[in-house]
Amino acid sequence: MADFILAIDQGTTSSRAIVFDRGGQICGVGQQEFQQFYPRDGWVEHDPEEIWETTLSSCRAAIAAAGIDAAQLAGIGITNQRETTLVWDRSSGEAVYPAIVWQDRRTADWIAQLKAQGLENTVNKRTGLLLDPYFSGSKLAWILDNVPGARQRAEAGELAFGTVDCYLLWRLTGGRQHATDASNASRTLLFNIHRQCWDEELLELFNIPQALLPEVKNSCDDFGESLPELLGRSLPIASLIGDQQAATVGQACFTPGMAKSTYGTGCFVMLNTGSKALTSSNRLLTTVAYRIGGEVCYALEGSIFMAGAAVQWLRDGLQLIGSAAETQVLAESVNSANGVFMVPAFTGLGAPYWDPDARGAILGLTRDTGIAHIARATLESVCYQTRDLLEAMAGDGADIQHLRVDGGMVVNDWLVQRLADTLACHCQRPAVTETTALGAAYLAGLQLGWYASLDEIAAMWREERGFVPEMSEVDRETRYHGWKKAVARVRS
């Protein structure tokens, strides 16, 4: 019996694969970190071959860790870091330039020019997005304009564009499939989320040849089969979905008004709005949560660029800690951050500020500031940034009393309690915190007939622990006021 699904979770700092059983339980994990490249200030790149190689090795490791063989796998689901942009040769599969990562800000000046021309409203109405270098469209245009011969080759149909899901699908199928799903397409600045198609006028605005673009399918669909030599046998690829949308599925946020927040490299809050594509008055994004059977579910999203990445910087950049787990011990070792605020605007600020020129800072340092205070301030910055997003959602009419949280950071009990305190909100941690991979597995299972409906998937969700607010309102507001002052400092 094929009783397992292989979920590929290709992230910003590592590639991961997880084998799940029909009940959504983890049976085997493979993971491999890969290198980050920073060729200039504000530029962030990945090696496409390293993305592929670490993904494939992680898949093999997960299957081995589960103690199964490929015959026991029903299929594959894929979820991915979104907005990261790749262009490759259709014949050889070789990328013409490194992957430009979602964090990259190289197109900020051009985006500012488009804003100055008054084009943001037009883009927002069609895509649900704001004009920002975060998204794929300007990255793709940059590659075409800066790689010699790329534009001519693209117009001749020799090149293919894709986000990471699309690239992995191409490699898994030996170039037989050039497709993405609606959730990933909705993050490109080129996709009309209302008409559910590539938008001709936006392609003209960004000067993108139509021949480059993948087919846009449902989030669970027939995406072809993997080459048999890769994993032991040919396997159907049954889902593609962006990582934050996948976490929304993994958290079973299927009812309008439900919200989840994922803490990985960045932090992303998604609020299900059902069949209505609501427009934010507070600079949040309107996005496709998932598309199943042609039916679109929309969401409001707030994006924070630096969450776990800020902790990684403490470890690798400043070398103040040896592992991320040390931050909880350090945070608990002091009564407060002692007036210290960390604003992790290393690649600018995301929602609701959308300020690509902001830069990171640690404020309030004194002679008695120690490593524990900086570690605590770093964790608290994640909580304050999440409150920024929930405040914006409240301004759009949302009343979030319960927030489902997931991602690698939420294993830290101190952090989740501080979240509940900062947000004045009940935070729910699920039994399976790998909700991004789980969402891809659930959608693959839906496509393969394992599950009859989203209701059946929702019934499997379990809370591992709930965290309720314990901080006084005076303390909460005083701390948040200090955060807002710190943000104002890095923006000015």
Under DSSP, the state recorded for 213 is: P
**Is there a single domain that holds both residue 199 and residue 288?**
no
> Residue 77's pLDDT is what?
98
**Is there a single domain that holds both residue 350 and residue 313?**
yes
Q: What is the pLDDT of residues 3-28, one digit of tens each?
A: 999 999 999 989 999 999 999 999 99
Band (203; pLDDT cuts 50, 70, 90): very high
Band (492; pLDDT cuts 50, 70, 90): low
Band (2; pLDDT cuts 50, 70, 90): confident
Under DSSP, the state recorded for 429 is: E
- Select from 243, 277, 297 the last residue of a domain: 243
Give the mean pLDDT of 82-101.
Answer: 96
Q: 118 near 140, Cβ under 8 Å?
A: no
**Is there a single domain that holds both residue 317 and residue 466?**
yes
CA 242 to chain centre: 7
> Residue 306's pLDDT is what?
84
Name every residue whose Cβ is closer than 8 Å to that of residue 145 and which is 6 or more positions away in sequence.
151, 207
**Is there a single domain that holds both residue 19 and residue 164?**
yes
Q: What is the pLDDT of residues 399-442, one digit of tens each?
A: 899 999 998 889 999 999 999 999 999 999 999 988 999 999 99
As given in the structure block, the two tokens for residue 353 are 């500020």
- How many C-beta atoms lie closer than 10 Å to residue 60's C-beta? 16
Give the mean pLDDT of 159-176.
Answer: 97
Q: 300 near 390, Cβ under 8 Å?
A: no
- Select from 220, 243, 266 the last residue of a domain: 243
Judge whether 457 lies within some domain: no
> Residue 407's pLDDT is what?
86
> Residue 180's pLDDT is what?
98
**Is there a single domain that holds both residue 140 and residue 267?**
no
Under DSSP, the state recorded for 85 is: B
Strand partners, 239: 77, 220
**Is there a single domain that holds both residue 44 and residue 116?**
yes
Q: Is the pLDDT of residue 385 over 90?
A: yes
**Is there a single domain that holds both residue 344 and residue 385?**
yes
Q: Is the pLDDT of residue 264 over 90?
A: no
Q: Is the pLDDT of residue 135 over 70?
A: yes
> Residue 343's pLDDT is what?
95
HEC sequence for 319-369: CCCCCCCHHHHHHHCCCCCCCCEEECCECEECCCCCECCCCCEEECCCCCC
Place of tokens 């989320």: 193
Q: What is the pLDDT of residues 294-318, one digit of tens each?
A: 999 999 999 888 888 899 899 999 8
Q: What is the CA radius of gyration of the chain?
A: 21
Strand partners, 162: 86
Q: Is the pLDDT of residue 165 over 80?
A: yes
> Residue 29's pLDDT is what?
97
As given in the structure block, the two tokens for residue 138 are 């300007």
> Residue 444's pLDDT is what?
98
Judge whether 442 lies within some domain: no
**Is there a single domain that holds both residue 227 and residue 270?**
no
Strand partners, 28: 19
Give the mean pLDDT of 27-49.
Answer: 94
Length in residues, the chain: 492
Judge whether 70 lies within some domain: yes
299 φ, ψ (degrees, to nearest 5): -150, 155
| Sign of the four-CA dihedral 419, 423, 429, 434 | negative
Give the mean pLDDT of 118-143.
Answer: 94
Q: Is the pLDDT of residue 487 over 80?
A: yes
Q: What is the pLDDT of residues 392-410, one digit of tens each?
A: 999 998 889 999 999 888 9
52 φ, ψ (degrees, to nearest 5): -65, -50
Q: What is the pLDDT of residues 212-241, one digit of tens each?
A: 999 999 999 999 999 999 999 999 999 999
As given in the structure block, the two tokens for residue 80 are 């991915």
Provide the number of structural domains found in the chain.
Answer: 2
**Is there a single domain that holds both residue 297 and residue 232?**
no
Q: Is the pLDDT of residue 111 over 70?
A: yes
Per the structure, the complete domain to which residue 290 belongs is given by 252-430+462-492
As given in the structure block, the two tokens for residue 208 are 């993108």
Q: What SS3 state is found at 47? A: coil
